Structures are given as structure tokens and as C-alpha cells.
Structure 1
Amino acid sequence: MAVLALLAGIALSGCSRSDTGTETASRPALPAVEVKVEKAVGQELPALIHVTGVVRASERASIAPKVMGTISAFPVDLGQRVKSGDLLVKIEAAEISAKVLQAEAQLKQASRDLAREESLLEKGASTSEIVKNLADRVTIMTAMVDEARVMLGYTEIRAPFDGRVARKFSEVGSLSAPGMPLLELEGDGDFEIEAGVPESLIAGLEVGAAFPVQLPSSKGSFEATLKEVSSAFDSISRTVTARFAIPAAVEARAGQYARLTLSGEFRPAVLAPVESVSKYGQMERVFVVEGGIAKLRLVKTGAARDGNVEIVSGLTAGETVVLDPPVSLRDGQPLKL
């Protein structure tokens, strides 16, 4: 019985192999597909280097008082829009008001004395020297009144331009001191990107040149124009501060993160048409033409450049690739060129 079972197994195995061979032999050949092709080219291209920056309002100001005193009014809130001339902060400084009253009183007294002596001079009861001295005193007291009034005007801080309150550093009741920032104001006009550019890339920067920019938070991309470059290096980061103007049509907000693309040193690169690269899941692939046959090739791509894409690996210059490969195209399938 064991011998019969063994013989039966051998016979079934032989039948299975025979059936498989028949199926392979009967499988139809892949039809030739008509495609358009183009050769990958090699070029010397600059390396693309990404630099991060921050969006800021082109017009901005840190508002600080010129006199010391207690903040008695702070009528603006964070994010509030203000017009030029609107009251931002009021400072209580009683001693300045007292100086104004004192200077005004002294000016009135000097003016009365001058008028009296001028009248006496006409009658010959005074001298021109006394009148001249009193006139000089009136001039001095007038200047003192003007100075005191200017100082009193410093107790009210007003918006220097139309904008929005970006930050507040103090509140009502706090003591203000000259030079101590109370709030930050940002204009409603143009925006710019402030970025630290590595020392090695400074030579490639030219004022007025445009550079690609991405705003990841808003998924926007555009070109920003270089406005100015600082002449001083940061000794720690070895970078130079540069400012790039954002086009007026771009929706941007102060504080957004921006990524600029700058050009580095030239290096050899392989470029292929963008339409030759297709994705299969997370993989990128091209079909290379070898002897009239499509050969599937996995590649790694870099930056896109004027209708082409840089092939970092998987393809060499001079190889022919299929443009817009059909979804049904298979590895090893014949091609009609």
C-alpha cells in the first residue's frame, strides 16, 4: 500500500508540472505600446540650500516713553487696529504739569515787568539796558514754557502710523521709564522675511534678485525679492541678516515661519522631464528604454527646475526615459517609439 501511495504522489506531481508548463507557454506576449521618450541630461547646477526665516511687518516700532511716571491709561488691546495719532498710553506725571504752570507764571511776570519798563523808558524814567535785559528774560521764559509743554506732551503716547498692536509689555498702574518698551506696533502694509544667511552663501546674494519661498503654515509658495543685506556677521552662528520683500498679493502674517531656497556651489546633476517620473505608493519610478523594451527603474528625485526634476539616484545622463508612462505599462513590455 505504501508503494502505491508513493507512485500516486509522483504521478500527481508530474501532472502539476505539466499543467504549469502548458499555462506558461500559453500566456500571451505583452503588446507593444506607443510612447514618447526623451533623454536624461547631465548639467552643472548649483546646490539648493534651504534657509529658515521669520515674517515681519516692514513697518514696525517699539513704543517707549520719554518721561518717567505711572501709566494711568492703556486703551489698546493685543491685536487691536489703530490709526495714526490714536492714543496708545497715558502717563501720569504731576511734576511735569507743575513745571508748566510754574514756567507760564514766570513768563507772565517777565512780560509785565518788560511792559512797565518800556513805558517808563518812553518817559525817560528807565534805561534801554534794563528794557533789553527784560526782553531777553521774556525770550528765555518763553522757551522754558515751550519746553515744559513739550515734556507734558510726552505723557501721551500716540500711534506713529496705522497698524496693529502686536505685543504689550506693561499694564495700567505700572511704572514707566524712559527707553523701556511698553508695546510693539506693526504696520498694516507690506511684509518681509528676515533670515540669517550662512556666510558661504553671501557671495551669491544680489539685492533685487528673487528667491523661492514657502510658508508651511499656509501652504503657500512665491518668490521674494532681496531688499537688503547686513554688513555684519553674527560671530556665533556665522550668518548675516538679510531681508526679503514679500509681494503684496501674498497673504502673510507677522511671526510666520518661512523657508527660502538659495543657491550654493555648482555640482554635476542629472535632469529628467517631470512627466517621466511616476509614483507607486511611496516609491518614485521611471521607465528606461533599453533595446526597445521598457525597464522599470526606482529613482530618488530632488528639486524641480524649469519642467525638469533632478534625479539624485537611479538614473544616469544619456539614458532614455518614457514620458507620461501609461498606467498599464509593465516592466519588459515592448515599446513603439
Structure 2
Amino acid sequence: MAVPVSAAPASPVTQPAAAPSPEHAIRVQLLPRRYTTLAAEIGAKVQRLPVPEGERFRAGDVLVVFDCSIHAAQLKKAESSHSAASQTWEANKRLVELNAAGKMELNVAKAEMDKSQAEVSAAAAFVSKCRIQAPFSGRVAEQKVREQQYAQPGQALLDIIDDGQLEIELIVPSKWMAWMKTGLGFRVRIDETGKTYPAKIKRVGARVDPISQSVKVLAVVDGNHPDLVAGMSGHAQFNVPATGQ
């Protein structure tokens, strides 16, 4: 009689752990280093917009010229009045020294001179706002007003950007803060150009979003790349350490 041979218990099969991908891609967007909207400080007609939309300019270049011919004439009138008031004060001052006039006349002349000086200052301040200069070098992103159009005080005129060095904004898992430090190099692939560019971390955000457990990171593109334009997007490619995933 054959003795049944009991089968050896099957040893549990250990599934090999899936090796994590060493490269992680994070969605990014290119941003200008600085940007602002220039607005009118006075109400006047736009005479010229010397820099067309999309063109480059340097810091200090004139970007908007208003028609201030009337205000320029008012400034000249105020300067003439101040000159006459100053001469009257000087004449009364000499008369007082010669005892030919009283202190009252001198004080009145001084008050008129001070008043005319204030009018000159006010007119000059207005005329100084008839030209808007570029606060930094960059490009005109958008013209919000046209030549010969009347602009109201506070009205937006131009959007300008400084794209001398483009920044990269990305959102990464907060646990990456353990190894993601300032100066860390990585690669970024831009959708619009289909090319990959070198970049490095500029700064890591100071606050973690407790809901998404993520943090904002800002980086910069290394080198000068004329084909890159603010607003482009793509993916940042990181080699994540095995302990940092």
C-alpha cells in the first residue's frame, strides 16, 4: 500500500518591490523677474508711445509722452510771476535798509514771493508727470491705451516685464524640502520650444500648504535663451533620491 506523500507547503511568493522612477516631472511656468502696470498720474491726451508692443527698452527710456502744452505754458507763466515777485521783494528789502519803506511792505512782498514759488513747484510737478520713464529694462507686454486717446488719472497704460532672466514657478511635494535646497540644478523641458534647458533652484517657499502637502518653489533658467518667452510652460525634471520620494 502506497503511502501518500504530503506536498511540501508552498513558500510564500514575495513580489519584488517596484523600483521607483529616478526622474520626476513637475509642471512649471516661466515668469518674468519683474513686471508692473504703468498708470497715468494726470489726465491728459497721449501724444506718443515711443516703444511699440513687444519691443525692448532700457531703464530710463521714455515709454509714454502726454500732450502737456497748456501745462508747460502755465509753468512758464508761474516762473515769470515768481521772477517779478522776487524782484519786488529785493527792491523792498533795499528800501527797508534805507528806511524808505516799512516792514509791512517787506513782509507782504516776501509772502507774494513764497506764493509764486509754490505755484512754480506745483506746475513743475505736473509737467514732470507728462513723460513716463521705464523703471527697469525689459519689454512692453501690452499697450492698454492708444496715441491721441485721453487718459484719466489712474488709468492703466502699459504692462511691462523684465525678462532678462526668466523665473520658473513650480509646486512640489513638501517632503522634497529635505533634499531640495537653494542652488540645486535640474533640467526643464519647455512645451512651446520642445527643448530642454538648465535651471537651478533660487528659493523654496516659507509655507507648506497643509491640504495638498506641497510648497511653492522658484527657480531661474541658467544662461541667455532668446527663444524663451514669459508665459511658456513645461516640465521640470528632477532626479529624486530614493529616500526623498
TM-score of the aligned structures, taking structure 1 as reference length: 0.54
Distance 1:233 1:175 in 2: 47
> In the alignment, residue 86 of structure 1 is paired with which amino acid?
D
Q: Which residue is equivalent to 1:56? A: 31
Correspondence 1:45-194 to 2 at 5 A? 49-93=24-68, 96-97=71-72, 99-128=74-103, 130-131=105-106, 134-135=109-110, 137-187=112-162, 189-194=164-169
Shift in Å, 1:182: 1.3
Match of 1:256 in 2: 232
**Counterparts in 2 of 1:243 and 1:123: CA distance versus 1, 3 Å:** same
Q: Distance in 2 between matches of 1:198 and 1:223?
A: 18
Distance in 1 (alpha carbons) for counterparts of 2:213 and 2:82: 59
Mapped to 2, the partners of 1:239 and 1:94 lie a distance apart of: 56
Structure 1 partner of 2:177: 203
Q: Which amino acid aligns with 1:260?
A: A
Q: CA RMSD in A?
A: 3.9
Q: Aligned with 2:168: secondary structure?
A: strand
Distance 1:50 1:109, change over 3 A: same
Is the CA contact 2:144–2:157 (under 8 Å) kept in the aligned structure 1?
A: yes
Q: Give, in angstroms, the shift of residue 154 of structure 1.
A: 1.0
Distance verdict in 2 for CA 1:268–1:200, change over 3 Å: closer
1:5 corresponds to: none
8 Å CA contact 1:57–1:254 kept in 2: the answer is yes
Counterparts of 2:40 and 2:176, CA distance in 1: 38
1:120 Cα deviation after fit = 0.9
State which of 215, 220, 229 in structure 2 corresponds to 1:245. 220
Q: In 1, are the aligned partners of 2:60 and 2:136 still within 8 Å (CA)?
A: yes
Structure 1, 52-61 or 260-269: larger mean CA deviation: 260-269
TM-score (norm. length: structure 2): 0.71
1:226 aligns with 2:218: no
Aligned equivalents of 2:239, 2:141: Cα separation in 1: 34
Q: 1:272-301 CA distances to partner (integer Å, 9 max, x unpaired)?
A: xxxxxxxxxxxxxxxxxxxxxxxxxxxxxx
Give 1:292's aligned residue.
Answer: none
8 A contact 1:45–1:268 mirrored in 2: no
Structure 2 spans left out of the alignment, 5+ residues:
1-15
Is the 8 Å Cα contact of residues 66 and 178 (structure 1) preserved in structure 2? yes
Provide the C-alpha distance between the structure 1 equivalents of 2:115 and 2:210, rounded to a whole number of angstroms.
51
Q: State whether residues 176 and 244 of structure 2, in contact with CA within 8 Å, keep that contact through their aligned partners in structure 1.
A: no
Distance 1:143 1:42, change over 3 A: farther
Distance 1:125 1:249, change over 3 A: same
Q: Deviations over 1:113-165 (max 9, x none)?
A: 21221121121123456535644653453343133212212111233344322
Counterpart for residue 17 of structure 1: none
How many residues align? The count is 228
**Higher gyration radius (CA):** 1
Any gaps of 5 or more consecutive residues in structure 1? 1-40, 270-337
Q: More strand by proportion, 1 or 2?
A: 1
